[in-house]
Structure 1
Amino acid sequence: MTRSRLTGLERYWFDKGQVLVIRYIYGDVMDLDKATAHLAATATEDAKASSAESESLRRVAARFFSDASGIVRAADDESATTPLDRVVAARHSKALRGLAVSFERAAVEIQGNKLETETVLN
């Protein structure tokens, strides 16, 4: 499966998510749900201010989900992992899936707002 290329803004959001994930994996004390929601809210504001809108957020969500799935597949290969590797993989996957869900929700929110605005204008 080929992954679509991310735009510069999408790459920025994705990289910010990766930093959050790495901090979470290696034990930074944080409220993961709150941190992912904050990042998605920031990305939503950026998307609204650009031509990116919901499709852009969906591409980033798909990339987070794809990476999470790859980590799960790699962790399932028991011969290549230790129990600690599986714990790290589980935390990694959890964080990436949380980001994917947050970005997808943001895309749905933008799409809903756009439909409401179009309806009001018509």
Structure 2
Amino acid sequence: MAQPRLTGLEFSWFTKCQMMASNYAQHWEMVLEPDLGSLIQAVATDARTSFTGPQSMRRVAERLTLVADSLVAASDDRARAADVRREDGRCTEALQYLASQLASTAASVEAWKHASASATETSQAPSA
């Protein structure tokens, strides 16, 4: 089944995530949490200003999961060199981490947006 196209903002997030995962795969001294965590925070900041922010984060997370799954399927080829398999494994790990972080952060962004909307409605309510 073909996936729906990503919006411009979603595509931007997706490519940034792919680039970070690729960097993580190729630079073996790189650590997942601090480097990729800062990207998640930047995406969350963007999502707060976007009307469909949380839904977009979930769509990007789904797409990253699909890419990670395709890497796992491709890594079943035993003819690959050990370094290539290790890089594929690290890339898969990074993509799965980013997908899970985006999905969980989407929930907190959604809660933030609901709280902000409620606070705005309360402050705009006419007083008697």
Please, what TM-score do these two structures have when normalized by structure 1?
0.86
1:17 matched residue in structure 2: 17
Provide the rounded CA distance (Å) in 2 between the counterparts of 1:42 and 1:104.
14
Counterpart code for 1:20? M
Instruction: Provide the residue aligned with 2:30 in structure 1.
Output: 30
Give, in whole Å, the separation in 1 of the partners of 2:96 and 2:4. Answer: 19
Unaligned runs of 5+ in 1: none
Quick one: which amino acid aligns to residue 71 of structure 2?
A: I
Give secondary structure in 2 for the equivalent of 1:76: coil
Q: Which amino acid aligns with 2:43?
A: A
What is the CA-CA distance between 1:30 and the residue it aligns to? Answer: 2.8
3-state SS of paired residue (2:64): helix
Offset, 1:82:
2.7
Q: 1:96 is matched with which residue?
A: 95
Paired positions, count? 121
SS at 2:75's partner residue? helix
Q: How many Å apart are 1:2 and its aligned residue?
A: 1.6
- Match runs of 1:76-91 below 5 Å: 76-78=76-78, 80-91=79-90
CA shift, 1:94, in A, is 0.4
Identity of aligned residues (%): 31
Give the superposition deviation at 1:95.
0.8
Which sections of structure 2, spanning at least 5 residues, go unmatched?
123-128
The one-letter code matched in structure 1 to 2:36 is T
TM-score, normalised relative to structure 2: 0.82
Taking the aligned partners of 2:111 and 2:32, their CA distance within structure 1 comes to: 26
Alignment deviations for residues 82-122 of structure 1 (CA, whole Å, 9 cap, x no partner): 32222111111001111101111111111222344466657
Instruction: Tell me the distance in 2 between the aligned counterparts of 1:31 and 1:87.
Output: 15
Contact 2:24 2:31 in 1 (8 A): no
Root mean square deviation of aligned Cα: 1.9
